[in-house]
Chains A and B, each alone.
Chain A
Amino acid sequence: MIHFILLFSRQGKLRLQKWYTTLPDKEKKKIVREIVQIILARHQKTSSFVDWKDLKLVYKRYASLYFCCAIEDQDNELLTLEVVHRYVELLDRYFGNVCELDIIFNFEKAYFILDEFIIGGEVQDTSKRSAVKAIEDSDMLQETVEEYMNKPAF
């Protein structure tokens, strides 16, 4: 089970956080600080896995953004890397050439897409089509012309 997912920039700015276990806010902030520091300090060409407390961090960098998942000991590390990749693909498909700014300004969409893909720390559906379709369907559901015009186009 994935315990949490963090997205942060190379400057250490947190862009998205998703927690699948209940923790007090203070604790979350502490964890984020600690993990960002650990990951940013790692060199290139090192493995993508870091032991952290009794969990394992699996991370990967996409351009300026780090994606980091904390998984349990018995979870599959390589497949977690592909969970991250699939999520990036989903974002890419929805935004069309996704970039960090898309995630900053359309954070709610980034969360919705993640919710379609992962629930409670487990992968819900691995089909690219069904996850994106769910989001697009819901967009069509209520989007008025006015809203559509205001959709950011970077």
Chain B
Amino acid sequence: MLTTIKQKACYSAALYCLTFLNKTGATLTFCKGKSKEAEIKRINKELANIRSKFKGDKALDGYSKKKYVCKLLFIFLLGHDIDFGHMEAVNLLSSNRYTEKQIGYLFISVLVNSNSELIRLINNAIKNDLASRNPTFMGLALHCIANVGSREMAEAFAGEIPKILVAGDTMDSVKQSAALCLLRLYRTSPDLVPMGDWTSRVVHLLNDQHLGVVTAATSLITTLAQKNPEEFKTSVSLAVSRLSRIVTSASTDLQDYTYYFVPAPWLSVKLLRLLQCYPPPDPAVRGRLTECLETILNKAQEPPKSKKVQHSNAKNAVLFEAISLIIHHDSEPNLLVRACNQLGQFLQHRETNLRYLALESMCTLASSEFSHEAVKTHIETVINALKTERDVSVRQRAVDLLYAMCDRSNAQQIVAEMLNYLETADYSIREEIVLKVAILAEKYAVDYTWYVDTILNLIRIAGDYVSEEVWYRVIQIVINRDDVQGYAAKTVFEALQAPACHENLVKVGGYILGEFGNLIAGDPRSSPLIQFNLLHSKFHLCSVPTRALLLSTYIKFVNLFPEIKTTIQDVLRSDSQLKNADVELQQRAVEYLRLSTIASTDILATVLEEMPPFPERESSILAKLKKKKGPGTVTDLEEIKKERSSDMNGSAEPASVNASAVSTPSPSADLLGLGAAPLTNSAPPPSSSGSLLVDVFSDSASAVAPLAPGSDDNFASPDLASSEVVSEEPADTVHDADELFHKFVCKNNGVLFENQLLQIGLKSEFRQNLGRMFIFYGNKTSTQFLNFTPTVICSDDLQPSLNLQTKPVDPTVDGGAQVQQVVNIECVSDFMEAPILNIQFRYGGTFQNLSVKLPITLNKFFQPTEMSSQDFFQRWKQLSNPKQEVQNIFKAKHPMDAEITKAKIIGFGSALLEEVDPNPANFVGAGIIHTKTTQIGCLLRLEPNLQAQMYRLTLRTSKEAVSQRLCELLSEQF
């Protein structure tokens, strides 16, 4: 079979002109191999022809309709857009001829859009087919629901399908389709598929005679059980007994369900998956399950029944799933070790796929206490895989496994091998390896000199891939452990001797020598002057942030080594520093020069004191790795975290940092005032005080600590690293802005957000279902914002309802400047939530991340409607269905002023109808919400009760969700 595909396909390339004969006998010729234009021309001609047929006076019979709809599909699948024919396809659904119906359904499945008119018609046709009791038609209808799987479909059929599924007289094939169809609807809209009586009956489908029904039902039950474990608990014992019957059956017992001598592999795997939703079962069932698992492991040792790859794949698929279950239960040491041995065999299998999967599966085994040691015995094989595998994805798995199996006993070997591999590793995985090496080296360091060596090696081998987090971390550790400081200074000094060294090394070297250069200054080979000259020889090759850091190192040297003060002052005084084009460098040079000339040695010693130990906190490297790998690996990382916090010196004094102090740098501050600054390490000045030191030397929050080399820009220090982690959750900022958000419901312009750094202003206009919003970002500081990236985020629920288009803005916002961003808005259908505006930027050294709700609310798409009292009440009565009305009674939050209330109702978007309500104190409004798909008429009535200081708000619209949302929005206003 496989080879025949080849034979026949060989002439497909040779064909210049393909003639497409579909069953109807129509001919559609596509000029392949000729130019793209020719094909487009040909297709446009065909489309025009079909369009004219559909539009023609003569009504088409089902046969031709099918023919043309089929052609449209073909054209669509060739990659061209189709914007008509939907109606004809829907017509085909009601045909009695099977093939016509089938093509109709196929067209709908492939090309459906959320056109509400059509959805109604389609749902109607599906309803008829479901009721037809003809299994073939029912099957088609169910396939269609599953293929489209939209919320509308779920609304229409989620109630019906469970009934079909558990009805006694439903054909097996229909049951199968119904089970999976329900699964699809449950995945898209779980809220619309309530659990009920049917659930217990679904569980019993596991006992069904028909293996196809069991297969489909198991998928459904697995997904449902993940969310409602209690409801489906009984499925465990049923699944175990079913599994037991399968694994003990002879290969011929299951007839058609035996696949290449493997009995029902799909069903076995699904049952094993289902069991992974639950903890190990009760002892009675557990014994039987253990037998099953042992049988599966035993079978793996038997000689294969066929040489075909299908046989081995199916057999091993079951085996791997069984191992997953064993790992999931993590309670049977015997099985875990057997699983590990089995995987060990696969590590040297000639099939790449098996090696890949074995490495992957062993990663999880390594985290179990029972099998960790067994996994470790394979270390040589895994290291060998790292060196010899040809496939990068397999090597990647080997790296993962080495990382997982690493502990104190083998850390030195594994880190050495990883470093070794790093020299030749693929670019795509280098960064990850760097992070892993950095974490392992820190976690298992007994001797911190080894740690320092490892990180310096990392920088030497793969400097470009060493992220900030990694070198921040090495500095934190060196500062926190005095036993390693001298060694670190010596090692970086030696490393810097290399003629070409990576900039990251210069950064680490600059920082460490600035702090601890004195520890090696006794050696004439690394005298202060030599240290300084060595660093300064790298200066001109470095980027601005590194140079800034080096300047800070120099001023620290002034304090450490008074004997080279004049040399350093000469350097600072040179034109290339004092007149440097870069503001930051120039400022540092000027200020450091002044500081070194004016300040007394005492003051210098205080200002430039050694950095205090950093507070102990989660390594930012781990946070980064987590971010890279997603939540899947978090569990074992948390364990690492636990272990590390006990490993590391937990007694470190937290640096005195006042995080709320955000001061504005003022370059003109009077340095002479320094002497008066009451700054000591233990008593930071209050954030509001005008401490000049804060003003002069810091533009970042951590500045109250003694001046560090490069205290801002690039030395972001651990505070920032951790604030980065924290600010990943924008929840609280979003929440804070809620009040401002509500202000925008009734107005379009104003200030949306403001803090010490940034102001966000809005101006917006809306017409019908379209709108445009101008967002103004104002930098309130005098420093540039870098990497300024505002992003508008729509949640998954919101995305289909609201179309937002934004243009990127310039990533740099100068101090005091304002940039503008335009958001084009299209309301497709009614919506509840508001989009989120997320803004990220670097300010000084700090990474800033904030999120605010963007006030695009449903009422913005209101068009006011004037109407008479009579009209109003007539419509009011028409909308008397209880679902259409939403009422809210609430306490007034603001003074109850009639004029302000009127202004708010008008601002809300509806017309304010005077003299409609018989009670003149009441307010009545009317309007139409415009969305792309529909228009929704809305009536509202607000009844104030001055005595009780309460309001009653009533909304009636043709759509419940709209009434609800508008009522929520408006209730917040009074």
A: residues with CB less than 8 A from B are 1, 11, 14, 16-17, 20, 22, 29, 43, 45-51, 54, 62-65, 73-74, 76-79, 81-82, 85-86, 88-89, 92, 97-101, 104-105, 107-108, 111-112, 115, 119-130, 134, 137-138, 141-143, 146-147, 150-152, 154
Q: Is B554 an interface residue (CB 8 A)?
A: no
Bound-state Cα–Cα, A104 to B74, Å = 9
Residue contact B3 to A14, C-beta cutoff 8 Å: no
Residue contact A100 to B5, C-beta cutoff 8 Å: yes
Q: Is B450 an interface residue (CB 8 A)?
A: no
Bound-state Cα–Cα, A20 to B188, Å = 11
**A16, A46, A78, A88: residue with the most chain B Cβ atoms closer than 10 Å:** A78
* A residues near B180, Cβ cutoff 8 Å: 119-120, 122, 124
Contact of B173 among A78, A134, A147 (CB under 8 A): A134
Residue contact B216 to A122, C-beta cutoff 8 Å: yes
Of all chain A residues, the one with the shortest Cβ separation from B256 is A127
Residue contact B212 to A125, C-beta cutoff 8 Å: yes
Residue contact B314 to A142, C-beta cutoff 8 Å: no
Residue contact A130 to B256, C-beta cutoff 8 Å: yes
**A123, A141, A151: residue with the most chain B Cβ atoms closer than 10 Å:** A123
Bound-state Cα–Cα, A107 to B110, Å = 12
* B residues near A98, Cβ cutoff 8 Å: 1, 4-5
* B residues near A124, Cβ cutoff 8 Å: 176-177, 180, 212, 215-216
Contact of A126 among B70, B177, B215 (CB under 8 A): B215
Of all chain A residues, the one with the shortest Cβ separation from B180 is A119
Q: A47-B393, A76-B320, A142-B98 are in contact. Are A100 and B8 (CB under 8 A)?
A: yes
Bound-state Cα–Cα, A64 to B20, Å = 20
Q: Is B457 an interface residue (CB 8 A)?
A: no
Residue contact A79 to B181, C-beta cutoff 8 Å: no
Whole-angstrom distance from the CB of A31 to the nearest CB of chain B?
A: 14
* B residues near A79, Cβ cutoff 8 Å: 265-266, 269, 313-314, 317, 321
Residue contact A50 to B8, C-beta cutoff 8 Å: no
Contact of B99 among A64, A143, A152, A154 (CB under 8 A): A143
Question: Known contacts A105-B20, A122-B216; can you find 18 more A-B pairs with CB under 8 A?
Answer: A14-B79, A47-B355, A50-B393, A51-B396, A54-B630, A76-B273, A78-B316, A79-B321, A82-B314, A88-B1, A97-B8, A99-B4, A99-B5, A104-B18, A108-B102, A115-B143, A147-B23, A151-B23
Whole-angstrom distance from the CB of B452 to the nearest CB of chain A?
A: 34
Q: Is B555 an interface residue (CB 8 A)?
A: no
Whole-angstrom distance from the CB of A56 to the nearest CB of chain B?
A: 10
Contact of A154 among B8, B79, B97, B314 (CB under 8 A): B8
B: residues with CB less than 8 A from A are 1-10, 12-13, 18, 20-25, 70, 73-74, 77, 79, 97-100, 102-103, 106, 110, 136, 139, 142-143, 146-147, 149-150, 173, 176-177, 180-181, 183-184, 187-188, 211-212, 215-216, 219, 256-257, 259, 264-267, 269, 273, 310, 313-314, 316-317, 320-321, 324, 352-353, 355-357, 390-391, 393-394, 396, 630, 632
**B99, B267, B324, B356: residue with the most chain A Cβ atoms closer than 10 Å:** B99
Residue contact B23 to A120, C-beta cutoff 8 Å: no
Q: A47-B353, A107-B74 are in contact. Are A63 and B3 (CB under 8 A)?
A: yes
Contact of A128 among B79, B183, B256 (CB under 8 A): B256
Bound-state Cα–Cα, A97 to B2, Å = 8
Contact of A137 among B136, B355, B394 (CB under 8 A): B136
Bound-state Cα–Cα, A108 to B465, Å = 50
Bound-state Cα–Cα, A2 to B601, Å = 71
Bound-state Cα–Cα, A65 to B9, Å = 9
Whole-angstrom distance from the CB of A84 to the nearest CB of chain B?
A: 10
Whole-angstrom distance from the CB of B241 to the nearest CB of chain A?
A: 20
Whole-angstrom distance from the CB of A85 to the nearest CB of chain B?
A: 6
The total number of A-B Cβ pairs within 8 Å is 212
* B residues near A11, Cβ cutoff 8 Å: 13
Bound-state Cα–Cα, A119 to B109, Å = 12
* A residues near B215, Cβ cutoff 8 Å: 123-126
Of all chain B residues, the one with the shortest Cβ separation from A50 is B393
Whole-angstrom distance from the CB of B419 to the nearest CB of chain A?
A: 24
* A residues near B216, Cβ cutoff 8 Å: 119, 122, 124-125
Contact of B394 among A22, A47, A54, A142 (CB under 8 A): A47
Whole-angstrom distance from the CB of B930 to the nearest CB of chain A?
A: 22
Q: A73-B632, A79-B317, A122-B219 are in contact. Are A150 and B23 (CB under 8 A)?
A: yes
Residue contact A22 to B188, C-beta cutoff 8 Å: yes
Contact of A78 among B1, B25, B357 (CB under 8 A): B357
Residue contact A62 to B212, C-beta cutoff 8 Å: no
Residue contact B266 to A123, C-beta cutoff 8 Å: yes
* B residues near A105, Cβ cutoff 8 Å: 20-22
Residue contact B317 to A22, C-beta cutoff 8 Å: no
Q: A76-B317, A108-B70 are in contact. Are A126 and B212 (CB under 8 A)?
A: yes
Bound-state Cα–Cα, A115 to B5, Å = 22
Q: A64-B9, A89-B1, A142-B99 are in contact. Are A49 and B310 (CB under 8 A)?
A: no
* A residues near B103, Cβ cutoff 8 Å: 108
- 30 A-B residue pairs with Cβ-Cβ distance under 8 Å, sorted by A, are A22-B149, A45-B390, A45-B391, A46-B390, A47-B352, A47-B356, A48-B353, A62-B2, A62-B5, A63-B2, A63-B5, A65-B9, A78-B314, A81-B353, A99-B9, A100-B9, A105-B20, A115-B147, A119-B143, A119-B177, A119-B181, A120-B181, A123-B219, A123-B266, A126-B257, A126-B264, A130-B173, A134-B173, A150-B24, A151-B23
Bound-state Cα–Cα, A63 to B5, Å = 6
Whole-angstrom distance from the CB of A134 to the nearest CB of chain B?
A: 7
* B residues near A101, Cβ cutoff 8 Å: 8-9, 12
Q: A76-B321, A89-B1, A107-B74 are in contact. Are A49 and B356 (CB under 8 A)?
A: yes
* A residues near B1, Cβ cutoff 8 Å: 88-89, 92, 97-98
* B residues near A126, Cβ cutoff 8 Å: 211-212, 215, 257, 259, 264-267
Contact of B391 among A46, A127, A128 (CB under 8 A): A46
Whole-angstrom distance from the CB of B533 to the nearest CB of chain A?
A: 49
Bound-state Cα–Cα, A81 to B273, Å = 18
* B residues near A62, Cβ cutoff 8 Å: 2, 5
Whole-angstrom distance from the CB of A63 to the nearest CB of chain B?
A: 4
Q: A64-B9, A125-B176 are in contact. Are A77 and B4 (CB under 8 A)?
A: no
* A residues near B264, Cβ cutoff 8 Å: 126
